[in-house]
Amino acid sequence: MTKRREVISIFVDNQANVLSRVVSLFGRRGFNIDSLTVSATNNPEISRITIVFTGTEQALNQIITQTEKLEVVKEIFTLEKQESVYRELLLVKIRADKNNRTALREIVDIFRGKIIDLSKSSVVVELTGAPEKVEGFMNMVSCYEIIEMCRTGITGIKRGLATPECCQEECDMYTGELFD
């Protein structure tokens, strides 16, 4: 079977130990998590976990079925690339001096990044975009000395009006307050 990169979104109770329960389920099944993000939703009782892993379609179905069995899970679905928007944040510190600073600025500008810190010997760049954009930027600056970097991991959301049922009531409440 062919392996592919999967992005799943899991809506869970906003409680202590929920993340560890979900993540340990992946580990017990032998799945390596490539990327993990957790964030609040518009409903304060619900958190969103976005997990990226590589596996077969059978593995995806298995992990979804197992995850749905956890009582803290409200909803789970895949974020298909064609139907979703993915983003990632990169912070990278690059050694920079008067000889390469201009070239670095040009690369940052091409990728629509921002230099958020500047010293005599380094720059810190912030870049937000699709994972492919972040990878492309890192490839372009790989010839420079990377002092330090961190990436948030992928987060995603479905395009259009599709809204998870567990957040629907809260979404309706916000819509009413904003537009009535």
Tens-digit pLDDT profile for residues 10-58 = 999 999 999 999 999 988 888 889 999 999 899 999 999 999 998 888 8
pTM of the predicted protein model: 0.80
Give me the pLDDT at residue 177, please: 52
Domain ranges across the chain: 4-78, 85-155
Is the CATH code 1.10.3720.10 the one for domain 85-155?
Answer: no
| Identical fold between 4-78 and 85-155 | yes
Read off the tokens for 34. Answer: 């490539």
Q: What does DSSP assign to residue 30? A: T
Sequence-distant (6+) residues with CB within 8 A of 48 are: 9, 10, 11, 12, 38, 39, 40, 41
Give me the pLDDT at residue 31, please: 85
Continuous segment of H or E residues that includes residue 65: helix 57-68
What's the rounded Cα separation, in Å, for the pair 9 and 77? 6
Tens-digit pLDDT profile for residues 150-176 = 999 999 999 988 767 766 655 454 555
**Fold adopted by 4-78:** Alpha-Beta Plaits (3.30.70)
Burial class, 139, CB count within 10 angstroms (exposed 0-12 / middle 13-18 / buried 19+): exposed
